[in-house]
Each structure stands twice: as structure tokens, then as C-alpha cells.
Amino acid sequence: LVLDFDKAQQSLKQGSIAIATAEASTVDVTSDAQRSRLTVNLADAGAFTTRVEGNTFILKINSANPAVATPVAAARSEQGISNIGFQRGSDGEGRVVIDLKGSNTPVDVKQQGSKIVVRVLGNKIPAHLSRRLNVNDFATPVSTIDAQNDGSNGLITIQSNGSFEYMAYQAEDKLTISLKRPEDKNPMKPKAPSAYTGKKISLDFQDIEVRRVLQLLADFTGINMVASDTVQGNITLRLKDVPWDQALDIIMKTKNLDKRRNGNVIWIAPVAELIKSEEDEAKAIAQSIKLAPIQTDYIQLSYAKAADVLKLLEDSRDAKGSVSNRTAGSDSLALESLLSSRGSVVSDSRTNTLIVNDTSQNIDKIRKMIDLLDVAVKQVMVEARIVTASTDFSRELGIKWSAQKLGNSPVWGGDFQPSFDLGVDLATNTAGTFNFGLLKISDYMLNLELTALQADGHGEVLSAPKVLTGDKQKAYILRGTEIPYQTYSATEGLKTEFRAANLKLEVTPSITPDGKVQMALLVEKDSIGAITNDGIAIDTSELQTNVLVDDGETVVLGGIFDDVKRNDYEKM
């Protein structure tokens, strides 16, 4: 029998009262912000009447099966405390766990300033538990736990070491008081997501049916809860200001239950029953897939090669039976086959098309994968200036930079001395050495002009090539010559052969997710060396580096060319 009293609050110390009558066993009282609820656990569905006399509400219950009342001595179950323990929670909270000898042990929990006081009414604390526990080293809000007796009552005092929030709840014969640090109220600091977000509720029941508690939670939340027929048994609860979803988890954990939520409906059942139900559902899905008709689909690719995607699909099926041999970092596509055991796929290289034979469900999975992979590869334009200069150049040989702003913004340029170190000294590098620098001017296109301020010699821009390549695709620029030389052998006689002396710039760009370009650079410079009887020696120089640049930035490489000293005479 459930009676609701709107806009009424209860002030009883105990939420459950045992009554020794033939008509009812217990009376439970709960309340929230809107109402108080009186739940009478009836022995049978008897008739009842109510009336109000002043401020008194009178409920009269008549048994459906009247019988001769016999005096029954109510057996008083064992009460008291058997142990006091402490635990540190995963979120840094301190948990004081009190083991009760019986779930009906009367306990009163109150906060007094910086302390939590737990009174065990009518039961003393055993002598071996009357002591102080110092738990400062656990780095929780709890500092000490003192257990002593106050007259006929046991007294447990939990001392905190700072501000805290607490929660007390009892499940069966375990009373837990949890203290945690309060949340930071700073509006600028992002709040960590809470595991429980439900409206808070207080529950205080002694030996109440689990199904009845679930019904109370369903009424409180307005959520449909379906309890399996195997959900049975009673529970003792004492929860104060606990989120309703946390209260539900405590109840389920205590009775070895679990839940599955679908929309506004929560199904609650024993863990083993839920596992079996999900296994049966998985078997039914597998059977339906096994019996599903085979369809044929033609998927034409735009950018990816059909042969590459075909290999990926075959690898995913081959790996299905050997997932346990793969490491955690393996390709996630290999964790589940995209093809069923009856499926097949072939590729047509001429039209770049995949021909897939499989169930409609697997074909949909393959199409989703192709939508992710069959995309245009980003491209990178690489420009280079290859310059050669003689050492007759003045020591004023330098770099003239000009920059032109994109759009209609003002144009600025001309000769200037940059305030940053370019790391390049084209005029003074020694033979066989390399140097490079990076010019960073954001939002500008850089146009590099190498100006040789010459006295008697000349400088020359050998080439200014451009190459367009895809993301993570290697490209190279090559300029060189074939050097002839003669060889003689007894079988072939005199023969002219050639050796290559090249200047090669190789670059592999990789576009990062934030729009920068990672460039792997390789520069090789060959030149004619000593001429010997055995042939011509080729002097080689090589520079290899990896540099991260923004879009439009310029990497400057210097010291690539050897210095050649020469004495010139002019006579009249």
C-alpha cells in the first residue's frame, strides 16, 4: 500500500519501522522535494480506510483472511559492529567502511563542522575496535578515524583535513561513508565529467524487497524499468543525497544485477541472464547473416587503385582467424573481416572497379571503408632555384629577398637586411660543406632572388624548376652531364664510356593535419675530380635533412657548390 503526501517532509530518524501485526510487516517512509511517500508492506490484499483528525492521519487495515491473533515474540536479530576499515577510492575519495552484525543495526550519521559523527544507537563498539586510525598517508580528505563508546552508544568520529563533501549509504550489513574534495567552482576551469548525473535521492529501508526499491526509483525518475522475473530478494539501504543512477548501481552491485538501457526503458536482470541473452542475440544475428542472400555490387574507385583495396579486403579476411597473434597497434581493419565467409571480391584494373559478391550488410561496410579511403591525395608544389657562382664574386654576395602580399594588400620589397639569421653564407662556405636556413614570414609568398654583386666575374641561375607531387610521394629534380672517357681492353679495344656528374634535389613532402609540410630533403652534388690513367674520379657531396615548414615558407640551402680558385691575367 503506497500513500503520497504532497508538500510534506518526514523527520523520522529511521526510514523503516517494523510492526508486529498480522496485516502488515513494515512501514517505509521516503521523501523528496515534492512529496513524502508512506509504503506499508501488507501481508495480503486486505481492505483499508483512512481519516484525518486534526493534524493526525489515521490508517486502518483489515486483513483479507482474519485469524485468531496469537501473541508472537518478535525475535530480535543480532546488532552491533564487527569491523571498521578504510579504503582510498579511484578518484581520491576516502571511504570508511563499517561492517554491521545485522542490517537492522540502528545508525545515525551527521556532519558536525569538519567531522562526520556516526552513532551506533544502543550498541557499544567492541574493545578491540576502540582505537584511532591515522590515514593521513592515503592523501584523501580523511585524516583520522576515532572509535569509542559514549554511554550505551558506539561513537565513530571521522576527522577531515580540509573542505569536503560526504555521502553515506548502507547496503545489507555494510555502511559506507565516502568523503571527497568539493569541485572547483572556478568558472574558467573546465569541469570533469561526472560518472553520475541523476537527481539526488535519499533512501532508508530495512529488509525491503529489491523489486519494490526499483519501482520507487522508476516512479522518482519517470523512467520505465523492467525487472526480470529472476530479480528477487530483499535489501537494506541507507542512502542520503545520492544521485539516483548511483543508487541504482549500488543496488545492482549488491544483488549481482546489471542493466541494459534502450531509450527510456531500462532492463534489469542478473548478470548471467544478460550475458546469455546477448550471446543468444549474437548467435541469431550470425545465423541471419549466414542465411542472407548474396548480392553483387560494382564499386568504381576514383582515386585509390582497385588492386590496393582488393589486397586490403583480402588481408582483413585472412587476419580474422589470427587476431590473437597481432599486436595492439595493428591495423584496426584487420580486427574484423569486411567479407563474410561466403563473400568474394575481384578487381578490374582497366575500369578501376571492384566487383563484390556478398550480403548487403557486408557490402555496406565495404562501401563505408571505401568512402574513407577513396579520396584525392593532397598535392604539394615544390619550387627550386639552382645557382652557380665563381669565387670572383665580392664578399658582399648575399641574398636579396622580396615579398609580395597576396590579395589587394600593400606590396613591399627591395633590398633589406633581415633581422634573423638565415644560416647561409653563400660566399664564404668552404669546399665540400653544406649549410641551410629557413625564412619564416607568415601569410606572404616568398620570391627568392639570388643577386650576385660581382666585381669581375659572373653568377648564373642554372635552372628554376618546379615539380608538383602528391602527399607522401617522392619527387626529384636532376641536372647534370655525362662525362666521356676512354677505356681500352684486349677484347673490345678502345671504347668510350660515360660517367654521370649530377646535381640532384630529392624531396618527399608529407602534409600534417594542421596544414604544415614535413619535407625529407636529399641533395647530391657530383663534380669532376682528378683525371687518372684509370679514368675520371667523381667528387660527390650529399646533404640529407628533414625539416618542418609552413605553407609558402622557403628552405635555403647553401654551400652546395665547391669553390674553385683561379688566377686571371690581363695584358696589353
pLDDT of the residue at 444: 40
| Arch. (CATH architecture) of 295-373 | 2-Layer Sandwich (3.30)
Contacts of 413 (CB under 8 A, 6+ apart): 402, 403, 404
What whole-number distance in Å separates Cα of residue 114 and Cα of residue 140?
14
> Alpha-carbon distance 194 to 182, whole Å?
13
Tell me how many degrees the CA angle 316-319-322 measures, rounded to the nearest 5.
160
- The candidate with the shortest Cα–Cα distance to 251, out of 171, 155, 320, 190, is 171
CA angle (152 as vertex; 148, 153 as ends), nearest 5: 50
> Got the DSSP string for 246-306?
HHHHHHHHHTTEEEEEETTEEEEEEHHHHHHHHHHHHHHHHHHHHHSPPEEEEEE-SSS-H
The neighbour count for residue 167, using CB atoms within 10 Å, is: 19
The grid cell for 360 is 548487403
Cβ atoms of 213 and 239 closer than 8 Å? no
* Cβ 461 vs Cβ 383: under 8 Å: no
Beta-strand relationship, 224-227 and 265-270: parallel
Q: What is the predicted pLDDT for the residue at 400?
A: 42
CA distance 4 to 548: 71
- Show pLDDT as tens, one digit a residue, over the chain (572 residues): 778 787 787 777 777 777 767 777 778 888 777 778 788 877 766 667 777 777 788 888 776 555 444 444 444 568 899 999 998 888 888 999 999 888 888 888 888 889 999 999 889 999 999 999 999 888 899 999 999 999 899 999 999 988 888 888 787 788 889 898 887 655 555 555 557 888 888 887 877 889 999 999 998 988 899 999 999 888 877 787 888 998 899 889 888 899 999 888 999 999 999 999 999 988 888 788 778 888 999 999 998 889 989 988 888 777 654 333 333 333 333 335 788 888 889 999 899 999 999 888 889 999 999 998 888 888 888 777 665 555 544 344 444 443 433 444 333 333 333 333 444 444 444 444 444 444 444 334 444 444 544 444 445 555 667 778 888 888 888 878 888 877 777 888 888 888 888 888 888 999 888 888 888 888 887 877 777 776 678 888 777 888 888 877 777 665 554 555 556 666 66
- Is residue 107 a contact partner of residue 93, using CB atoms and an 8 Å limit? no
CB 508 within 8 A of CB 520: yes
Residue 144 C-alpha cell reads as 583520522
Quick one: which H or E segment has residue 460? strand 459-463
* 534, 427 Cβ separation under 8 angstroms: no
Burial classification of residue 120, based on how many CB atoms lie within 10 Å of its CB (0-12 exposed, 13-18 middle, 19 or more buried): buried
Residues 249, 244: Cα–Cα separation, whole Å: 9
pLDDT tens digits along 436-487: 444 444 334 444 444 544 444 445 555 667 778 888 888 888 878 888 877 7
Angle between helices 210-221 and 244-254 (to 10 degrees): 160
At 373, give phi and psi (nearest 5°). -95, -30
Q: How far is Cα 221 from Cα 14, in angstroms, rounded to an integer?
A: 23
- Outline where DSSP puts E strands in 62-196: 81-88, 94-100, 107-112, 115-120, 132-134, 142-150, 153-160, 165-171, 174-180
Give the C-alpha separation, 326 to 62, whole Å: 71
Q: H/E element holding 49?
A: strand 48-53
Cα–Cα dist 58/51, whole Å: 5
- Contact between 310 and 354 (Cβ < 8 Å): yes
- What residue segments make up the domains of the chain, in order of their start? 2-61, 81-270, 295-373, 380-558
Nearest 5°: CA angle at 238, between 173 and 172?
20
pLDDT of residue 354: 92
pLDDT value of position 45 = 61
Q: Which CATH class is domain 81-270?
A: mainly beta
Place of cell 548471467: 272
**pLDDT at res. 98:** 92
